[in-house]
Structure 1
Amino acid sequence: MKEKFLGIDVCTDTYDQLAAKLLEDINHNRKSFIVAINPEKIMKAQEDMELRDLLNKATYQIPDGIGVILASMMKGGKIRSRVTGIDMMMRLCKEAALHGKKVFLYGAKPGVADEAKKKLEERFPGIQIVGTMHGYEKNENVIVNAINASNPDILFVALGSPAQEYWIVKHMDSLAPKVYQGVGGSFDVVSGRLKRAPLLFQKLGMEWFYRLVKEPWRWKRQLVLPKFLIKAIRE
Structure 2
Amino acid sequence: MKEIILGVKVDTDNYDELIKKLFKRIDNKEKSLVVAINPEKLMKAKEDQSLKDLLNRAEFQIPDGIGVILASKLNKGNIKSRVTGIDMMDRIVREAAKTGKSIYLYGAKPGVADQAAQALRSKYPSLKIAGIQDGYEQDNEKVIQKINEVKPEILFVAMGSPRQENWIEANRDRLYPSLYQGVGGSFDVLAGNVKRAPKLFLNTGTEWLYRLMIEPTRIKRQLALPLFLVETLKK
The TM-score with structure 2 as length reference comes to: 0.99
- Cα displacement (A) at 1:71: 0.6
Q: What SS does the corresponding residue of 1:209 show, helix, strand or coil?
A: helix
1:234 shift after superposition: 1.4
RMSD over aligned Cα atoms: 0.6
Task: Give CA-to-partner distance per residue, 1:46-85, whole Å, 9 cap, x none.
Answer: 1111000000011000000000000111111111110000
Residue 39 of structure 1 aligns with which residue?
39
Deviation of 1:219 after TM superposition, in Å, equals 0.6
Residue 67 of structure 2 is matched in structure 1 by 67
Q: How far apart are residue 150 of structure 1 and its match?
A: 1.2
Q: Give the distance between the partners of 1:14 and 1:81, measured in 2 at CA.
A: 7
Measure the CA separation in 2 of the matches of 1:207 and 1:149.
Answer: 39
Which residue pairs with 1:28 in the alignment? 28
SS in 2 for 1:168: helix
Structure 1 stretches of 4+ moved >4 Å: none
Secondary structure at 1:46 match in 2: helix
1:95 aligns with 2:95: yes
Q: Supply the distance in 2 between the matched residues of 1:166 and 1:83 (Cα, whole angstroms).
A: 21
**1:129 maps onto 2:125 in alignment:** no
Instruction: Deviation per CA, 1:120-165: give whole Å up to 9, x if none.
Output: 0010120001100001111101110011011000000000011001
Equivalent residue number for residue 181 of structure 1: 181
Give the aligned residue type for 1:26.
I
CA separation in 1, counterparts of 2:68 and 2:89? 20
- Provide the C-alpha distance between the structure 1 equivalents of 2:174 and 2:224, rounded to a whole number of angstroms: 36
Q: Which residue identity is paired with 2:143?
A: I
The residue that corresponds to 1:15 in the other structure is: 15
Number of the residue aligned with 1:80: 80
Q: Name the count of aligned residue pairs.
A: 235
What are structure 2's unaligned runs of at least 5 residues? none
Spell out, residue by residue over 1:191-224, the C-alpha distance to the aligned partner (whole angstroms, 9 max, x if none).
Answer: 1111000011011111111111101111101111
What amino acid is aligned across from residue 53 of structure 1 in structure 2? D
Residues in 1 aligned to 2:152 and 2:133: alpha-carbon distance in whole angstroms: 13
Q: Partners in 2 of 1:213 and 1:139 — Cα distance?
A: 40
Report the residue type matching 1:174 in the other structure.
R
SS in 2 for 1:193: coil
Shift of 1:22: 0.8
Whole-angstrom CA distance in 2 between matches of 1:39 and 1:17:
23
Q: What percentage of residue pairs aligned between the two structures are identical?
A: 57
Matching residue of 1:217: 217
Amino acid at match of 1:143: V
Q: Secondary structure at the match of 2:47?
A: coil
Taking the aligned partners of 1:189 and 1:159, their CA distance within structure 2 comes to 14
